[in-house]
Each structure stands twice: as C-alpha cells, then as structure tokens.
Amino acid sequence: MLTKKLQLTKDFLDAQIAVVYKKDFIKDDPIQIPHLYTKKEDIEIAGFFAAVLAWGQRTTIINNCKKLMNYFDHAPYDFILNHQDSDLVKLEQFVHRTFNSTDLLYFVSALQYIYTQHGGLEQAMSMGITTKSKTVETGLNNFKKIFFSLEDFPYRTMKHIAAPIQNSACKRLNMYLRWMVRENSKGVDFGLWSCIKPSQLMCPLDLHSGTTARQLGLLTRPQDDWKALEELMKVLRMLNDTDPVIYDFALYGTGILNKVK
C-alpha cells in the first residue's frame, strides 16, 4: 500500500507517461537511429552507437549517428563482421565531442569480437544476470571487462563505457538496455532481448531526470551516481515492480519540471 503522497506522485507520473510515451517520442530522440533497421543485429549495433554517443545537443547526436550509419553502408552488422582494413579508412574522419576515430576503430574491433566470440551484445551484456538478479549491475560490470579484453585497447576509450563498479549511474548503457528489453507495444522501445527482465532494468539517470526526481521527493542523494540510482529505483519499483523504468519517460519528459513546480 502506497502512502497518500506517493500515490499522488504515481498518479502525476502516470499522467505524464500517457503524454510522452507514444511513437511521436521517436522523432526527437536518438532511439530513431535503431528504428531505421529491421534486422535484430542491425538494431542492436545501431542502438549501441546511438546510446554511447547520446550526450550533447540532440540534433547533433542524431546527425552524427546518421553519418556513422552511412559510413557502415547502412548495414552495421555486416560491416562489423566483414569489413576489410580498407573499409576503416573512412572512419578516421569521425568525431563526436570527445569520441573520436581512435575510439570508433576500437569499438568496431570490440563489437566484432563480441559477435564472433560471445554470441552478440545481448549475451555479453547479460552475462552473470540470472532470474534471481535484482538489477543489471553484474551484467554491466562484466560487459566492460569483455569490451576491453582485447590486447592493446586505447586507455582513452575506456571512458566511453561506464560501469557500476566505478559508482557511475551508467546513464547511456541503461538507456540502451531500456531500448532493447522493454516491450514494444507503443512502437518506442524494441523488446528484442529476453535474457534480461524489464523488472531488472535501471533508469537512465542524468542531471535532468535526477533534478526532476528530487523535485518530486523520489531521490535525496545529491550526486547522480549508481548509489543515487539504487535509491531512486527502490521507489520506482514500489510504483511499478514489473516495469519500473517506464517512469524514465515521465522523469525526462519535456517541460515536466515546470509542472512539478
């Protein structure tokens, strides 16, 4: 039984979800990049890059992701698996904020390794997660180890893959997992992966959603880190224990802060 205050908060957030959570959400969000494709592996890889590059202005993020997909000849899975050294030359001009060609070239190699040696992104990101796991924490920590298990990886590239063991909120990877795992009845997320349950997902916590959560009294910890995320998720699971990250749509919804105030 929820307290009266928490029930009012749930009602408010549910109303915001109804406004935001629909297919129109895609047109202004980086999730539109994986929506360009229909093949599972193409969606996974396009989504992975879109999530990793999802910081900065949305227009720039989306434009750079489209540029990258063009470099992959709009067949990202085939490119990752079957590229020749000559195909990599065009990648050397890519840059998005602090993500540059050095990072991109390693990402291509790491993804090829993951798809050929670890069964793909779903298996690599769910390693260690069981039906009894409460969250995806173990999977995210293991994924970083797998991703950087190639010899002579660029140390600078490690900053682009976060992990809970570093107390990072892992905003972009949690967003990516939301895309891949949550059901797709609204045509927004994909529901492609079955190795992780929606109830195990964690919200993509950042400055915007963290500020909203604090305004609503859902979060007290001032830092936007993994400990704060655990605090927030404890409450969100009270509101919806089977699909708690649906509240990401409300916490990040356009203009919600003014409504909270």
Kindly report, residue by residue over 215-231, the tens digit of the pLDDT. 999 999 999 999 999 99
Q: Which two tokens stand for residue 13?
A: 């957030």
Read off the amino acid at residue 44: E
Question: Where residue 252 falls among pLDDT bands split at 50, 70, 90?
Answer: confident
* pLDDT above 60 for 255: no
Q: Which two tokens stand for residue 234?
A: 């404890």
Write down the mean pLDDT value for the chain.
Answer: 95
* pLDDT above 80 for 259: no
Name the pTM for this structure: 0.96
Question: Where residue 253 falls among pLDDT bands split at 50, 70, 90?
Answer: low
Tens digit of pLDDT for each residue in 49-77?
999 999 999 999 999 999 999 999 999 99
Q: What is the count of structural domains for the chain? A: 1
Give the CA diameter of the chain: 63
Average pLDDT on 157-182 reads: 98
Average pLDDT on 34-38 reads: 98
**Backbone phi, then psi, for 168, in 5-degree steps?**
-80, 145
Q: Write out the residue range of the structural domain in which residue 199 sits.
A: 4-260
| Cα–Cα dist 187/216, whole Å | 28
Average pLDDT on 191-203 reads: 98
Residue 1's pLDDT is 85
Q: List all residues 6 or more positions away from 241 whose beta carbon is below 8 Å from its beta carbon.
A: 199
Question: Where residue 201 falls among pLDDT bands split at 50, 70, 90?
Answer: very high
More confident residue, 201 or 19: 201
The proportion of the chain whose per-residue pLDDT surpasses 90, expressed as a percent, equals: 94
- Give Cα separations from 102 to 92, 98, 121, 128, 230 (angstroms): 8, 10, 21, 30, 33
* pLDDT above 80 for 260: no
Residue 246's pLDDT is 97
Tens digit of pLDDT for each residue in 102-152?
999 999 999 999 999 999 999 999 999 999 999 999 999 999 999 999 999
